[in-house]
Amino acid sequence: MQKKSITLTDNRNGNTYTYPVLEATRGPDVVDFRTLFKDTGLFAYDPGYTSTASCSSAITFIDGAKGELRYRGIPIETLAKEHSYLETCFLLLNERLPNADELQNFDLELRHRAFLHEGLRSLFAAFPDNAHPMATLSAAVTALASFYQEHLDMNNKAEYHEMAHRIIAKMPTIAAFAYRHSLGIPCIQPDIDLSFTENFLTMIRAYPGGKMHLGPHGHETIREVEVRALDTIFTLHADHEQNASTTVVRNVASTGAHPYVAIASGIAALWGRAHGGANESVIAQLEMIGSVENVDAFIKRAKDPDDDFRLMGFGHRVYKNFDPRAQVLKTLQDELKEELGLNSRLMEIAAKIEEIALNDDYFVSRHLYPNIDFYTGIILTALKIPKNMFTPIFVIGRTVGWITQWIEFKKDPESKIARPRQRYIGD
Ligand code: SDX
């Protein structure tokens, strides 16, 4: 059977060039342009990589037209509804869901690894107390590389999985410490008796000594519904193919730098409001809009090409239909509205924005739909998580995706140092 290929004709000299098409198991096939420059003296030009596949990957599949997202082939809706975040972490790292024993061992290992070296704790004191937790988080994860400098044998799965488990386990602690330092209050150490997600909520909300808020009816408790809501949010953020921050992680992996500085670079990239930082901006934007009556004026600004105001939480490079994660969150919001006491005013403003935008030609013609960031903030606010911790929450969920992508890159025989070229337009 004839191999698939495409042929280009250079109309400057009539030459033709044929390039192989490499098949994908799902989604678009790719044309292998690796010899284009050698053959034609031309670079492919694709700022922002709108039509470029940077690698082959078997981790996450997205179909932007259908609004489909799968981790290792399993639909995100199934994982969000039927599995825990820890099961999803195991799935991403091991290409299959864990059995009961494996899940218990994985859970116990992460609990033991959640603690930080005392030397790392003193790093937080170096930061001004109004430092944004994302700055502290990125710096602390970079510093973590100096505590674990041993050589990593990529042929030894136990070794690189230990490296992966360690960063997954410590990220919530580092994020919680960064937050508590920003408040000038003592950090709460992880509690080995608590699950991954309940432990994080405790480290964020507990008073020194680990006790929760004391009210007229005794100490507040962290409710199962809150743990389930946050666990679902972590699962929805776990991985997302070759997004901007994952591309940064892979690029840092390609130079041979320490895996934890690759993760720290991913954190830095995620902070931008065009990417993970959008979740914090969405709530700020809803609060700025303030009432349903003001929505029209802001929609008008979002459509104005001369106004750089954008509707945060709307639009996506890949999803030209609903972001399936946004759908899961919207359902979760409706389910938990009463139980979590979600802010109905912000929900009404969000619903109004969505209603107008989804019927307005400007948004419809550009396929701008709500993305994951449009919905997370209202639930996180109800979990008493402050806005400046929304993107660190994204980091906690995404760490497993970044480290899984790092491992896949390191084991891919096709991997090379990332070194794109340019179209020179200078003197
Ligand atoms: C995440 O990639 C990932 O997978 C990321 C992520 C993940 O899980 O890792 O899904 C997480 O980052 C979600 C996205 C969060 N960001 C935001 O919500 C910020 C607001 N959205 C935009 O800035 C924008 O939509 C992007 C950055 C998300 C996508 O940008 P693209 O694909 O480069 O699209 P574009 O900027 O070329 O926009 C196309 C058109 C433009 O209008 P025209 O020039 O054609 O007239 O749509 C317009 C844009 O002006 N547009 C918007 C808009 N987003 C795009 N107009 C108003 N409001 C918006 N939010």
Mutate to test the pocket of ligand 1, among 61, 69, 271, 275 (most ligand atoms within 8 A of CB): 275
What per-residue confidence (pLDDT) applies to 208? 84
Q: Is 161 a catalytic residue?
A: no
Using a 6 Å cutoff on CB, does residue 410 contact ligand 1?
no
Point out the catalytic residue in the list 83, 237, 240, 316: 316
Nearest residue (by CA) to ligand 1, atom 47, is 366
How far CA 274 is from CA of 208, 231, 243, 244, 371, in Å, comes to 36, 24, 11, 10, 12
Per-residue pLDDT at 304: 95
Rounded distance between C-alpha atoms, residue 221 and residue 314, angstroms: 35
Average pLDDT over residues 203-207: 93
- What beta strand segments (E) does 211-320 contain? 214-215, 218-219
388-412, pLDDT tens digit by residue? Answer: 999 999 999 999 999 999 999 999 9
Q: Is 369 left (phi over 0), alpha (psi -120 to 50) or beta?
A: beta
pLDDT in tens, 105-157: 999 999 999 999 999 988 998 999 889 999 999 999 999 999 998 889 999 99
**Residue 426, pLDDT above cutoff 90:** yes
Average pLDDT over residues 1-20: 93
Q: Could you give the percent of the chain with pLDDT greater than 90?
A: 85
Q: What is the pLDDT, as a whole number, of residue 357? A: 86
> Quick one: which atom of ligand 1 is closest to the CA of 371?
13
Residue 190 CA, ligand 1 centroid: distance in Å: 37
> 175 alpha carbon to ligand 1 midpoint, in Å?
27
pLDDT for 1 beyond 70: no
The three-state secondary structure class of 60 is strand
Distance 371 CA to ligand 1 centre (A): 9
Backbone angles phi, psi at 116, to 5 degrees: -105, 150
Q: What is the pLDDT of residue 106?
A: 98
pLDDT at residue 328, rounded to an integer? 95
Whole-number pLDDT of residue 105:
98
In this predicted structure, the answer to whether residue 204 has a pLDDT above a threshold of 80 is yes
| pLDDT tens, position by position, 21-34 | 999 999 999 999 99
Rounded to the nearest integer, the mean pLDDT of the chain is 94
The pTM is what? 0.95
For residue 34, the CA-to-ligand 1 centroid distance in Å is: 29
Q: Taking a C-beta distance cutoff of 8 angstroms, is the pair 69, 62 a contact?
A: yes
Other CB atoms within 10 Å distance of the CB of residue 41? 8
Tell me the pLDDT band of 358, cut-offs 50, 70 and 90: confident
Q: What helix, strand, coil percent values describe the chain, rounded to 5? A: 55, 5, 40
Share of the chain above pLDDT 70, in %: 100
Q: Under a CB-based contact definition with an 8 Å cutoff, are residues 414 and 56 in contact?
A: yes
Place of tokens 């799902």: 26
The helix (run of H) or strand (run of E) holding residue 146 is helix 133-147
- Let me know the angle formed at the C-alpha of 139 by 86 and 233, rounded to the nearest 5 degrees: 30
How many other β-carbons are positioned within 10 Å of the β-carbon of residue 150? 7
Contact 60, 240 (CB under 8 A): yes
Distance of CA 278 to the CA centre of its chain: 11
Please say if 239 is a catalytic residue. no
**pLDDT at 209 (0 to 100):** 81
Phi-psi region of 8 (alpha: psi -120 to 50; beta: other; left: phi over 0): beta
Selected catalytic residue, list 231, 239, 323, 373: 373
Cα-flanking dihedrals φ and ψ of residue 58, to 5°? -120, 15
Mutate to test the pocket of ligand 1, among 237, 311, 366, 399 (most ligand atoms within 8 A of CB): 366
pLDDT score of 379 more than 80: yes
| Contacts by residues 297-304 (CB-CB < 8 Å, ≥ 24 positions apart) | 298/353, 299/353, 299/356, 299/357, 299/360, 302/362, 303/360, 303/362
Mean pLDDT for 183-210 is 93
Cβ 386 vs Cβ 134: under 8 Å? no
In Å, what is the CA distance from 37 to each residue of 15, 18, 62, 427? 14, 13, 30, 22
For 60, the token pair is 């996450």
Per the CB < 8 A criterion, the answer to whether 19 and 11 are in contact is no
| Confidence at 337, pLDDT banded by 50, 70, 90 | confident
